[in-house]
């Protein structure tokens, strides 16, 4: 709000307008992220519950290992992103001012302050702390949303990997059944086969529904962030050509790029991994199964040939190609 007031009343130079516009756009993005989390709190809880219970819950040590590997990757991405955001706040708030020797005389952000701090050191440092704290809180809120949404998307990847592992376990289970038995024993074996196939299908459908739910929960927020980051990138590159605040702009550019990249990376990984489900079925020892089991696996393969694709706003697919489009658009 302070930045918007300053932009309307005291716009200043072109560089100041660009700086203020970037701050306002970033604030709008963070506000929408927080609103989305509050609004969809119950739905997000349900997604997390589904990811950790029922068919999605790891059943043996191998599945636990797959899950821990993905969890470790999510923690690494979150830590790296958090550090990058912290360095960006420090670089923009303090780093450039230290280099310009302007710390203590100029506020780091040109937002509107409703009091005169020019001749009062206490009021100046109050405004200084207010600006830096506001930006730090906003940055952490953005990291929280991005880490949660990316983490949930990547968890789909873990479930797909577990699904592929269960394919081979399913085939081994069906292969071990003696179909030469007669009478009640053969009926029992048929029920075992039907239950095993049914569990696999239900788990596959659960993954697909989870991906759809996650995409719907964060769809428009990610789209808004995509356009905000692209706009801010263009503005920052323009400002960088006429600014001495190189360190701050460099970190800021890296942070904006990372905000887009992590979503495109996660979406691209899910698409690629979901495409390998059919290969996992085909590469299993399915030839030793009976005709009914092979027919069931064939139906599953046909459904798996349609990969999971995260699309934001029904116009942009989260993939490396979308990220490259941002790079080409901004001429980085």
Cα angle for residues 165, 168, 173 (degrees, 5° grid): 125
- In three-state secondary structure terms, 311 is strand
Residue with tokens 């990847």: 157
**pLDDT score, position 159:** 92
Phi, psi values for residue 115, rounded to 5° = -150, 160
12: DSSP letter: -
pTM check: above 0.75: yes
* 36 pLDDT more than 60: yes
pLDDT in tens, 228-285: 877 777 766 666 655 556 666 777 778 888 888 888 899 999 999 988 888 888 887 7
Cβ contact 150:260 at 8 Å: no
Confidence of residue 292 (pLDDT cuts 50, 70, 90): confident
* 3 pLDDT more than 60: no
Stronger pLDDT, 76 or 188, i.e. the higher one: 76
Rounded alpha-carbon distances, angstroms, from residue 238 to 47, 232, 255, 257: 41, 10, 16, 15
H or E stretch at 103: none
Rounded alpha-carbon distances, angstroms, from residue 126 to 96, 100, 280, 281, 324: 20, 21, 61, 63, 42
Stronger pLDDT, 233 or 146, i.e. the higher one: 146
d(CA 157, CA 250): 32
**pLDDT score, position 221:** 86
Confidence of residue 54 (pLDDT cuts 50, 70, 90): confident
pLDDT in tens, 178-215: 656 565 666 666 777 777 777 888 888 899 999 999 99
Highest mean pLDDT among 31-45, 239-253, 315-329: 31-45
230: DSSP letter: H
**pLDDT score, position 268:** 92
- In three-state secondary structure terms, 78 is helix
Stronger pLDDT, 158 or 177, i.e. the higher one: 158
HSE at residue 189, side-chain half, CA atoms within 13 A, is: 18
DSSP 30-74: HHHHHHHHHHTHHHHHHHHHHHHSGGGS--SHHHHHHHHHHHHHH
* 43 pLDDT more than 80: yes
- In three-state secondary structure terms, 317 is strand
Mean per-residue pLDDT, 18-22 = 66
Phi, psi values for residue 188, rounded to 5° = -60, -45
* 76 pLDDT more than 80: yes
* 96 pLDDT more than 50: yes
Tokens of 283: 């590469």
d(CA 277, CA 299): 12
DSSP alpha helices (H): ranges in 176-245?
A: 184-240
Rounded alpha-carbon distances, angstroms, from residue 112 to 33, 59, 103, 132, 208: 24, 57, 18, 14, 48
* 304 pLDDT more than 90: no
Radius of gyration of the chain (CA): 26
Mean per-residue pLDDT, 32-41 = 89
HSE at residue 246, side-chain half, CA atoms within 13 A, is: 3
Residue with tokens 């081994």: 172
| Axis crossing angle, helix 320-330 with helix 246-275, rounded to the nearest 10 | 150
**pLDDT score, position 197:** 77
Mean per-residue pLDDT, 134-143 = 85
* Average pLDDT of the chain, as a whole number: 78
d(CA 177, CA 259): 51
């Amino acid at each position: 709000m302070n930045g918007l007031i300053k932009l309307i009343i005291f716009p200043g130079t072109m560089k100041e307008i660009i700086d203020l516009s970037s701050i306002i756009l970033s604030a709008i993005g963070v506000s929408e992220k927080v609103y989305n989390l509050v609004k969809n709190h119950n739905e997000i809880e349900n997604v997390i519950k589904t990811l950790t219970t029922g068919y999605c819950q790891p059943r043996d040590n191998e599945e636990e290992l797959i899950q821990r590997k993905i969890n470790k990757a999510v923690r690494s991405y979150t830590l790296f992103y958090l550090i990058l955001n912290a360095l960006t706040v420090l670089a923009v708030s303090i780093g450039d001012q230290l280099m310009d020797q302007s710390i203590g005389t100029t506020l780091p952000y040109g937002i509107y302050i409703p009091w005169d701090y020019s001749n009062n050191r206490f009021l100046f440092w109050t405004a200084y702390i207010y600006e830096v704290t506001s930006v730090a809180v906003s940055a952490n809120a953005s990291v929280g949303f991005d880490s949660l949404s990316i983490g949930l998307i990547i968890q789909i990847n873990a479930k797909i990997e577990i699904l592929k592992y269960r394919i081979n376990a399913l085939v081994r289970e069906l292969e071990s059944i003696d179909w030469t038995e007669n009478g009640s024993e053969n009926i029992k074996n048929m029920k075992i086969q039907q239950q095993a196939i049914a569990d696999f299908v239900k788990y596959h459908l659960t993954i697909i529904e989870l991906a759809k739910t996650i995409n719907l929960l964060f769809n428009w927020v990610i789209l808004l962030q995509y356009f905000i980051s692209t706009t801010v990138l263009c503005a920052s590159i323009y400002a960088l050509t006429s600014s001495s605040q190189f360190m701050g702009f460099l970190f800021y550019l890296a942070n904006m790029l990372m905000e887009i990249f992590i979503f495109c990376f996660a979406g691209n990984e899910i698409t690629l991994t979901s495409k390998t489900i059919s290969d996992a079925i085909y590469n299993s020892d399915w030839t030793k199964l009976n005709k009914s089991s092979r027919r069931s696996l064939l139906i599953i393969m046909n459904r798996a040939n349609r990969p999971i694709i995260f699309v934001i706003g029904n116009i942009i697919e989260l993939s490396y190609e979308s990220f490259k489009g941002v790079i080409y658009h901004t001429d980085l």
